[in-house]
Amino acid sequence: MLVGSMRSGAAIGRSVFDQSSPGFGWTTASGCLRFGVRGAAGPGHRQGAAISRHEVPTTVVNEFAGSFECLIILRKTRQPPVARVGTAVLPSVLATAPPVVIDWIFAAKGVHPSEAWSYPKVHVALTGATGFLGLRLVRELLGRHRSLTVLAHAGSSSALGRITRFLELTDASPELIAELPERLRVVETDLGQPRMGLSAADFERLADELDVIWHSAGNINLDDDLARLRRVNVEGTRNVLELAAAGCRRPIVNHVGTAFVGGARRDGVVYEDELDDTHGFENGYERSKYEAEVLVHEWSVAHGRPVLVLRPSILVTDLPAHPELPEHPLRFIDQILRAALSTVGLGGLHIPEGNRPVVRLPGQPHGHLNLMPVEHAARVMVQLANVKSSRRVDTYHVVHDHDVPTTTITAVMERLVPIKVELVEKRLLDPSPLEAVADLYPGFTPYLSHRRRFDDTRVRTVLGPELSGIRVDLDYLLAGVRPKQTTESSSWGR
């Protein structure tokens, strides 16, 4: 039996870790808790990451409860225990506790003290960790797990380097950045290949180590060739599911889908339990992601295993563009329009307001699109992963509480380049030379005609009506989509 003590700070703002005992310490600076444990076998102690106070209950506590038989005895300093609480009560205790000493008693057999982090001992792997979403998932997951296995894309540049750079550019703590080589294990894979390109022995060894697999890798090029899209999005998912099937610990699969499996349905409401192809698809990407979700359902039934399906809408950020970060999914708007103006000899010119060339695009002036801040999406996804599973496929729409009018998208275009955009009902039969080349890439243009809404009742039911508080408007979108050199108010360091 391991007994650790967790002391709260009379000394606010600094670690009060007790160097002499194999226990936990915490600091209450800025409302954060910080956990650490002294390794009985090694010198010194290790320090866990800061976890915001309100996040402790659903993450540490629930996962502890799943991993260890955990009893908490709460008592006032130097007083005998005044309360004995179960893990269900701990959230409210932590939320309101005055300086106290909390002793944790782990009746976990075989848990070595040096392994008894405040983080539960759950082995988590993640595909797509270097992507626009994946990097934010890594950040969230590192706040909850001691280590992560990154199933990186073989042949791409260093995944550890890219993750480190992202965390540096987004103001992660120096401690976290210094710990990355120790906390991240990189395994190079090609998801499109059988066994992810690993040898049979490596594939099985990897499978047997895992408790949770996050699958976020994908090909998000809406207009790519369907065979190429299927290779990563469908075959990649199949191979991830095979990894999960092979694992002796029966790892949970958290699959990142997309709300756009709703397909070419342009009006009405798309519900979280819907998955059909009756409306067809706007592009090959949607079709491939639909096929991947169908696979997930078939696998779940065949193996009797739960899967969490997380369906974000279009992911956006107001973090300014940076050459070392994955491209913002809407950056193509700027790139295509600039290239189009250059093609017709108007590139780089100052064109007075009244003389701007008109670009007519098929679309709905009363249409709207759901755009979800990627940082918030990652946070919601990781919270949903802590919700009790139905043991089947649980699907959630990870979407913003307000849609963005299509006219805001056209306003973004007009602010990026000197054109005037008009949304027209039908595809043009008589395009001007500029219109002929300025069509947004064909896979995206149909979204300017969308007026559907994504229902997210399930998310609100399990997480509460918590709103992102982030307003996705013209300024927000411009901040993330503008090329770096024209961004005056870069705000690196968030």
Ligand X SMILES: NC(=O)c1ccc[n+]([C@@H]2O[C@H](COP(=O)([O-])OP(=O)(O)OC[C@H]3O[C@@H](n4cnc5c(N)ncnc54)[C@H](OP(=O)(O)O)[C@@H]3O)[C@@H](O)[C@H]2O)c1
Let me know: does 320 contact 491? Beta carbons within 8 Å.
yes
Task: For the CB of residue 295, give the shortest distance to ligand X in the complex, in Å.
Answer: 13
55, 190, 224, 394: which one contacts ligand X (CB under 6 A)?
190
Task: For the CB of residue 173, give the shortest distance to ligand X in the complex, in Å.
Answer: 23
134, 320, 363, 373: which one contacts ligand X (CB under 6 A)?
134
Task: For the CB of residue 425, give the shortest distance to ligand X in the complex, in Å.
Answer: 27
- Identify which of residues 218 and 367 has a Cβ nearer to ligand X in the complex: 218
Segment lying near ligand X (by CB under 6 A), choices 37-45, 185-193, 412-420, 423-431: 185-193
2, 56, 122, 133: which one contacts ligand X (CB under 6 A)?
133
45 binds ligand X per the rule CB under 6 A: no
Contact letters (x/-) for ligand X, 142-171, by CB under 6 A? -----------x--x---------------
C-beta nearest to ligand X: residue: 131
Angle at Cα 437 formed by Cα 436 and Cα 442, nearest 5°?
90
Residues 369-398 that bind ligand X (CB under 6 A): none
45, 144, 287, 289: which one contacts ligand X (CB under 6 A)?
289
Between CA 205 and CA 215 the distance in angstroms is 18
218, 363, 373, 443: which one contacts ligand X (CB under 6 A)?
218
- Identify which of residues 233 and 300 has a Cβ nearer to ligand X in the complex: 233
216 binds ligand X per the rule CB under 6 A: yes
Q: What's the N-to-C CA distance of the chain in angstroms?
A: 42
- Identify which of residues 128 and 357 has a Cβ nearer to ligand X in the complex: 128
59, 189, 406, 410: which one contacts ligand X (CB under 6 A)?
189
Q: Where are the beta strands (DSSP E) in 146-278?
A: 148-153, 184-189, 212-215, 252-256, 269-270
Between CA 180 and CA 107 the distance in angstroms is 30
191 binds ligand X per the rule CB under 6 A: yes
Task: For the CB of residue 239, give the shortest distance to ligand X in the complex, in Å.
Answer: 9
Residues 305-344 that bind ligand X (CB under 6 A): 312, 314-315, 326, 329
Give the DSSP H or E segment for 394. strand 393-398
Residue-wise burial string across 143-170, b where 16 or more C-beta atoms lie within 10 A, e elsewhere: bbbbbbbbbbbeeeeebbebbbbbbebb
56, 220, 393, 417: which one contacts ligand X (CB under 6 A)?
220
Let me know: does 203 contact 246? Beta carbons within 8 Å.
yes
128 binds ligand X per the rule CB under 6 A: yes
131 binds ligand X per the rule CB under 6 A: yes
Segment lying near ligand X (by CB under 6 A), choices 99-107, 210-218, 274-282, 297-305: 210-218
- What are residue 421's DSSP bridge partners? 359
Let me know: does 410 contact 352? Beta carbons within 8 Å.
no
Q: Tokens 């913002």: give the residue.
A: 328
Segment lying near ligand X (by CB under 6 A), choices 105-113, 189-197, 300-308, 457-465: 189-197
Residues 228-267 that bind ligand X (CB under 6 A): 232, 256, 258
Helices 236-246 and 200-209 cross at an angle (nearest 10°) of: 70
- Identify which of residues 131 and 480 has a Cβ nearer to ligand X in the complex: 131
Angle at Cα 332 formed by Cα 489 and Cα 280, nearest 5°?
135
Let me know: does 365 contact 407? Beta carbons within 8 Å.
yes
Between CA 238 and CA 245 the distance in angstroms is 10
Give the DSSP H or E segment for 311. strand 307-312
Task: For the CB of residue 299, give the shortest distance to ligand X in the complex, in Å.
Answer: 16
Segment lying near ligand X (by CB under 6 A), choices 22-30, 139-147, 218-226, 406-414: 218-226
The DSSP annotation for 401-456 comes to SS-EEHHHHHHHHHHHSS-EEEEESS--SS--HHHHHHSPPTTTGGGGG---EE--
Size of the site for ligand X (CB under 6 A): 28
Closest CA to 121 of 106, 101, 100: 106
- Dihedral, 82, 86, 91, 96 alpha carbons, nearest 10: -10
Segment lying near ligand X (by CB under 6 A), choices 69-77, 109-117, 131-139, 174-182: 131-139
Three-state secondary-structure class, residue 288: helix
- Identify which of residues 28 and 216 has a Cβ nearer to ligand X in the complex: 216
- Identify which of residues 57 and 262 has a Cβ nearer to ligand X in the complex: 262
Let me know: does 400 contact 371? Beta carbons within 8 Å.
yes
Between CA 24 and CA 42 the distance in angstroms is 16
Helices 134-142 and 159-169 cross at an angle (nearest 10°) of: 80
Residues of the shown chain interacting with ligand X in the complex, contacts defined by CB under 6 A: 127-134, 153, 156, 189-192, 216-220, 232, 256, 258, 289, 312, 314-315, 326, 329
